[in-house]
Amino acid sequence: MTGGRALMRVAVAATLVWITTEASAAEVRGRLLLRAYQPKAAAGPRPGFHWELDNGFKETLRDSVPARRELAVVLVGEGEGEAGEREVSLTGGSLMPSTLVVRVGTTIKIDNRDEIAHELYALGLDGFSGEAIAPRGRRAIHLKTAGDWPLRDRLVPHARGHLHVLPDLVSVAELKSDGTYTFADVPAGTYSLLVFHGHKQIAKRPVEVGNKALTLDPFAPGAE
């Protein structure tokens, strides 16, 4: 009987540990005030994409996803993060997302969805030189070094972006065009929320995550 009670106590303790572990991650959400952020325009006219050029037959369209394309909202801190694989695409003559933030050890998979070839490379990064990606083709790059590098395309000059490889990246948010963002299943702990636009870090906020869903106050990136 004594042995049975001991085994029961061990089982109860293990169950409590499992419940505590399962409850120690939470959703974190918030909103960027995008209208208050006015980045300086690039010098000279921006090359038009094919959907923005009037050909007399089809209505011209404007980019409907500038926030998701150009801004990245991430959490950095101690603990395990998102390495593994990350999908990016070349579509409509542009890189999606154009601001790419990943953790050291990530393999990015570049998917060319265009009907033309691309030759994307990271300026100054060994192992990410220009290599042609055929229409509907793919290329994988394993990123082992922390740092940041401009992304360029030898065949399509306006397909540009910027790559940030961080050693302490924990999570990348899903960012919507209205500025709302969500991090799913963030372990309890102390983090910094960073916002990147191209090569620039435009915001940094401390974040304390517990075991309940957390909604952060809205803020305008670049306002500090």
Q: pLDDT tens digit string along 181-209?
A: 999 999 999 999 999 999 999 999 999 99
CATH number at residue 109: 2.60.40.420
Are 102 and 208 contained in the same domain?
A: no
CA distance 22 to 205: 26
* Residue 4 pLDDT exceeds 80: no
Domain membership of residue 66 (yes or no) is yes
CATH number at residue 206: 2.60.40.1120
* Residue 144 pLDDT exceeds 90: yes
* Residue 54 pLDDT exceeds 50: no
- Determine the average pLDDT of the residues in 139-168: 96
Domain membership of residue 50 (yes or no) is no
Please give the DSSP secondary-structure letter assigned to residue 43. S
Are 222 and 120 contained in the same domain?
A: no
**Residue 80: predicted pLDDT:** 72
Of 152, 167, 182, the residue that ends a domain is 167
**pLDDT tens digits for range 97-135:** 999 999 999 999 999 999 999 999 999 999 999 999 999
Are 91 and 140 contained in the same domain?
A: yes
Are 119 and 182 contained in the same domain?
A: no
**Residue 112: predicted pLDDT:** 97
Are 98 and 201 contained in the same domain?
A: no
**pLDDT tens digits for range 30-42:** 999 988 887 765 4
Owning domain of residue 116: 81-167
Are 175 and 72 contained in the same domain?
A: yes
Please say whether the beta carbons of 109 and 88 come within 8 A. Answer: yes
